[in-house]
Chains A and B, each alone.
Chain A
Amino acid sequence: MTTRTTILSLPVEEYVHPGNRACTGCGLGIAYRIGLKALGPDTIVIVPPSCLTVLQGLFPVATTKLPSLNTTFACTAAAATGVLEALKAQGKDHVNVVAWAGDGGTADIGIQSLSGASERGDDFLFMCYDNEGYMNTGVQRSGTTPQGAITSNTPFKGKLQQKKDVAAIMTAHGIDYVATASAAYPLDLHDKVKKAISLKGVKYIHIHTPCPPGWGFDARYTVRVGELAVKTGYWDLYEVEKGVFRLTGASAKTLKAGTRKPVEEYLKSQVRFRVMSPEQAADVQARVDAKWSTYSGGAG
């Protein structure tokens, strides 16, 4: 990546109509808008059931100015492959194919087809916007819901299990590009999408996407909550390009400056973590510290 996106170089063209059906303060609204700017007009979008299906609008109204294919829940990556192969069969090789799924559609019901496509090396970008639960259906627990979070079906104790690390699973597939991002850092996301579409095979970007109604914070704090996740080291911005790991943006800065905040600040910003005991919070802090101790060595 030779140039970094700035607020001045961010494309002016919009591909998402304003006034869509996303909730107030939706993190996906930010990520989707910025992601499509990076993808540009020559793009076909694949969408499984998720909050994005709602954001997309109700027939015959459409939010996205790009051609979009709504698919069944489990086959997002297979649908991306199908579009891609049809374009190739017709000699059209200039179109970006992007799958845009939620965490359930990626980490849970969608992981089989995503793994299959990754192993085959099909040439598309898979975006996972991770709002850490089945928010569209009323905040049920998913594989990426973090430990300790209250959801509709972890109502009193919070989720007992840890969050599934999908970016690590995707890295293990040996694909050329895996990145994490955050809706609170749109320019970093824009850089990563641009880089991803310049590479071949399946590219995977996992976006931490704060959700005001699902996580329990005021809609005006979406960016602040997203930033806290990164500044506390709870969620890290990185990319793994052809096997080489590199922290990016705010995470790289935090490492360099040694300014990582206590995780408690992040946990306290949301109602969903309200039942976590001090011991559980200390355990989360210990795991974040352990993870960051591995960064100090090789990250740059």
Chain B
Amino acid sequence: MHVIETGNTAAALAVKLAGAQVVAAYPITPQTPLTEKLSEYIEAGEMDARYVPVESEHSALGVCIAASSAGARAFTATSANGLLYMHEQVHWAAGARLPLVMCVANRAVGAPWNIWNDHQDSISQRDTGWIQMYCCDHQQIIDDTLKAFRVAEATSIPVMVCYDGYLLSHTYMPFAIPDEDQVAEFLPPFRPSYALDPGSPANLNTVTLPEVRLDVNGELAHGYMEIRYLLQEDLRNAVQVVEETDAAYQAIFGRGGAPLVEPYRCDDAEYVVVGMGSITYQLRDVIETLRAEGHRIGVLGVRLYRPFPDAAVAAAVRGARGVFVMEKALSYGYEGALCSDLKSALYDHLGELGTAPSVKGLVAGIGGREIRTADLADALRSGLAGSVPDPNWIGIQL
């Protein structure tokens, strides 16, 4: 069935279809309509779940962590400072290897207060050990949120589904709602490897020593370092799980095929613009204009940011002379995090590439600053002519 609805509703429909059993959330703009929808579904009896209206985001994720530890499929959503307030729990959920799903309606972080869109909130969670997906439209929001549950449960790693606040969360677009029976086929009920149970007691997240230690049976038990190493290994291997999950989804629903990166007119491109989220679709318009002017340029949308699909990113820009990375967040004191990650991937894959393209970072849309298609085109024209604007923040007026 196709509907015309908001991005937040797309996410809520996915959570309902996924049969999340425990939902805990604290209101923050622009995430709120998503949690309002879930409250409606649950109170109306359309969704069999427990809704916990917690007193803070820290507790929202705290409830989900505990619910997941006790064997329930759990979901939360937040934005901006709410996500920052959760930060300790974000790390905890990954360290405890809990298959939670969290939607992030991306918003700028304070100070100063700003409720509009950029990516600083979720980019600031890059190093927590979560899987991060970035959506470009409403169809991807509903599809990715469903896939997120399967990926999370297959890897025992939590998944953050990120989509642009307002630009996607509050706009109306047509999208297809997956069929309930097909979802049941794609996503069977949650079967945790262990759940808190008096019949089978275990002590979870105990203080764990720097060194390995023998257990009561005389067998070697992991130290903290082994536990963390396995998180890193499994997270790196999750690239493949994301691909397999997308293939399974495509086989059932007929949509998907580019779960890691989404290239647009990159095959013959001398230049590639790389970004994440809705801006990559806006950039498709921009490069059509530039192509009409004779430039061979394409767009690469990074859909999976963590684990970073370095091989796919490097392969997608192979043969290009130059890469422009268009970001809505920064690692303050250096450059956009995606720009650094991309450069690192090019260096790692230099053997396959032969030669690496030049890489220029651009910053756009910070705190919801209007991203004018004409301004994007001008910045790229300037880059194609040999130098990106200085400062490289598009639309800045000092």
Contacts and interface: CB of A to CB of B under 8 A. Distances in A.
B63 A79 contact: yes
Given A57-B206, A58-B213, A70-B205, A89 B69 contact: no
A130 B66 CA distance: 24
A242 B390 CA distance: 68
A72 interface: yes
Nearest to B70: A86
B118 to A, nearest CB: 28
A85 B52 contact: yes
Interface in B62-107: 62-72, 74, 88-89, 92
A83 B69 contact: yes
B66 A78 contact: yes
Nearest to B203: A62
B201 A65 contact: yes
Contacts of A41: 198
Nearest to B56: A112
B49 interface: yes
Contacts of A42: 198
Interface in A27-86: 41-44, 46, 53-54, 56-62, 64-72, 74-75, 77-83, 85-86
Contact of A44 (B49, B53, B70, B222): B70
A90 B62 contact: no
Contacts of A115: 55
B215 A61 contact: yes
Given A78-B63, A86-B21, A62 B68 contact: no
Contacts of B48: 89
A90 B21 contact: yes
Contacts of B292: none
A160 interface: no
B63 A81 contact: yes
A119 B53 CA distance: 11
Interface residues of B, number: 48
A71 B66 contact: yes
A87 B70 contact: yes
B63 A89 contact: no
A4 interface: no
Contact of B50 (A57, A70, A85, A113): A85
A69 B64 CA distance: 13
Contacts of A57: 203, 206-207
Contacts of B68: 82, 86
Contact of B207 (A46, A59, A81): A59
A113 B53 CA distance: 12
Interface string B194-226: 011110111111111100010110000110000
A256 interface: no
B159 interface: no
A278 B290 CA distance: 86
A86 B71 contact: yes
A242 B70 CA distance: 30
B62 A44 contact: no
B353 interface: no
Given A59-B213, A78-B62, A85-B22, A67 B206 contact: no
A120 interface: yes
Contacts of A56: 203, 206-207
Q: Of residues B68, B71, B215, which shows the largest number of chain A Cβ atoms within 10 Å of its Cβ?
A: B71
A77 B74 CA distance: 17
Contact of B62 (A43, A60, A79, A120): A79
Contacts of B196: 44, 67, 69, 83
A95 interface: yes
Nearest to B91: A72
Contacts of A69: 66, 69-70, 196, 204-205
Nearest to A89: B21
B323 to A, nearest CB: 40
B68 to A, nearest CB: 7
Nearest to A44: B196
Contact of B216 (A60, A74, A87, A119): A60
A243 interface: no
B100 to A, nearest CB: 11
A112 B206 contact: no
A115 B68 CA distance: 23
B92 A72 contact: yes
Interface in A79-125: 79-83, 85-90, 95, 112-113, 115-116, 119-120
Nearest to A41: B198
Interface string A112-149: 11011001100000000000000000000000000000
Nearest to B200: A67
Contact of B209 (A59, A68, A87): A59
B119 to A, nearest CB: 26
Contacts of B28: none
A38 to B, nearest CB: 15
25 contacts: A41-B198, A57-B207, A59-B222, A60-B216, A61-B215, A64-B201, A64-B203, A67-B202, A68-B201, A69-B69, A70-B206, A74-B59, A74-B62, A75-B62, A75-B65, A78-B54, A81-B63, A82-B22, A82-B62, A82-B65, A82-B66, A86-B74, A89-B21, A89-B22, A113-B56
The 8 closest A-B pairs by CB, nearest first: A82-B66, A116-B55, A75-B62, A78-B59, A86-B72, A86-B70, A78-B62, A82-B63
Interface of B: 21-22, 24, 48-50, 52-56, 58-60, 62-72, 74, 88-89, 92, 195-198, 200-209, 213, 215-216, 221-222
